Amino acid sequence: NKSEIILAIETSCDETSAAVIQDGNHILSNIVSSQIESHKRFGGVVPEIASRHHVEQMTLIIEEALKEAKVGWKDLSAIAVTEGPGLVGALLVGVHAAKAIAFAHQLPLIGVHHIAGHIYANQLVTELKFPLLALVVSGGHTELVYMETQGQFEIIGETRDDAVGEAYDKVARTLGLPYPGGPHIDRLASMATESIDLPRAWLEENSFDFSFSGLKSAVINVVHNEKQKGNEVNHESVARGFQESVIDVLVTKTRKATEAYPIKQLLLAGGVAANKGLRSALEMQFKNSKVELIIPPLHLCTDNAAMIGAAASIKYQQGQFSDFALNGNPGLDL
Ligand code: KG4
Ligand code: ZN
C-alpha cells in the first residue's frame, strides 16, 4: 500500500508555512517563516506587508519543505492550502501557489479551513476519538466546536466581539508591550504577587458564547484612571487580573460544554493554546475527568502548515477535492 503524502501551504496571516505530511499524522517537514519582526513596529499585522512577504517567501519555503522531507513532486498525493478565513491578500498567495503546483504536476487540490487546521493539529499528536469538543482560541477566533465525527464541525459557542488573542494583544498594547502581546501578558501574570479585580462576561445562562471586549475596556479604564490620578499602575497585577478573568470564563464554559455533550476528548487549539495559565487551568480541571484532554506542543498551536496537511488528509480520504475555482475566502464558514 502506497502511503499518502500531502504538501500543505498556510499563508492566512503573518506566517508563511509549508509542510509535508505522511498518512495524516506523520510530519516529514514543517517549515514556518514568521514575519513578526516586520509588523512589530506597527503594533499589529499590516495586511499589505504580509502579502508581500508571502510572495517573497513562498517558493523558498515550499522548496525547503520538500527538501527536508526528502520527497519530490512525483511522490506527492495531493496539494493542500488554507483557503480561509484570514487576510484576503495573504490567503491569495498560498491559494495561487497551490493551484499552480496542482496544475503543473497534475495533483489533486484540497482547500482547507484554517480553524479545521488548528483543530486537526491535535491529530499530529494523538489519535482523535469522536465525538469530541475543541476549544479554539486564536488571534482571530474563540470557538467551542463539537465534532460528532471526522470532518463534521458544529460551532456551539463563539465570541460575540473580540477574539481572546485579540483581547490579549490590545491589553498588551495598553500596557506598552510589543506585538504580539499574548506571551508578554502570560509572563507578567505568572510573576504577579496580586491581581486586580476585573469583570467576567458570562452572558445568558447556558450560553456557550463568549465576550471579551468589556473586559478589554475595563483594563483600559483602570490603566487610564490610575494614570490620571498620577498613580503607578502595577502591570503584573493588571496582567494577572486580566488573565484570571479570561481563563475563568474559558475553563468554566468549556467544562459546562463537556457536560452537555457526550464527548471522549477535549482538544485545545489555536495560538492562545500556548498560554501557560490556560494550559494548567485546563489540566487541573480535567485531571480526574473521563474526558481526555489533549494539548498540542506550542509549535503546533500557532499557525503552521502541518496542521493544514493533517486536516487535508481527512478530506483526501473522503474524496473532497477543490477545483481551479478555489479562491481565498476571508469569511469562509467552518
Ligand atoms: O493561531 P495564531 O498563531 O494566529 C491566528 O490564527 O490568529 O494566534 C495568534 C494569537 C495572538 O493574538 C497572540 O497574542 C496569541 O495567539 N498568543 C498568546 C500566547 N501566545 C500567543 N496569547 C496568550 N498567551 C500566550 N502565551
Ligand atoms: Zn491561526
pTM of the entire predicted model: 0.95
140 touches ligand 1 (CB under 6 Å): yes
119 touches ligand 1 (CB under 6 Å): no
Q: What per-residue confidence (pLDDT) applies to 40?
A: 81
Residue nearest to atom 3 of ligand 1 (CA): 302
Q: What is the pLDDT of residues 190-221, one digit of tens each?
A: 999 999 999 999 999 899 999 999 999 999 99
Q: What is the pLDDT of residues 28-46, one digit of tens each?
A: 999 999 888 888 888 788 8
3-state secondary structure of 114: helix
275 touches ligand 1 (CB under 6 Å): yes
- Residue 1 clears pLDDT 70, i.e. is over it: no
14 touches ligand 1 (CB under 6 Å): no
* Domains recognised in the chain with CATH numbers: 5-120+301-317 (3.30.420.40), 129-295 (3.30.420.40)
From residue 1, give the alpha-carbon distance in Å to each of 4, 7, 23, 70, 75: 9, 19, 11, 19, 14
Pocket test for ligand 1, best of 302, 307, 308, 332 (most atoms within 8 A of CB): 302
Question: How far away, in angstroms, is 319 Cα from ligand 1 center?
Answer: 32
114 is in an annotated binding site: yes
Q: What per-residue confidence (pLDDT) applies to 44?
A: 81
Is 2 within 8 Å of 20 (Cβ atoms)? Answer: no
Distance of alpha carbon 31 from alpha carbon 29, whole angstroms: 6
182 touches ligand 1 (CB under 6 Å): yes
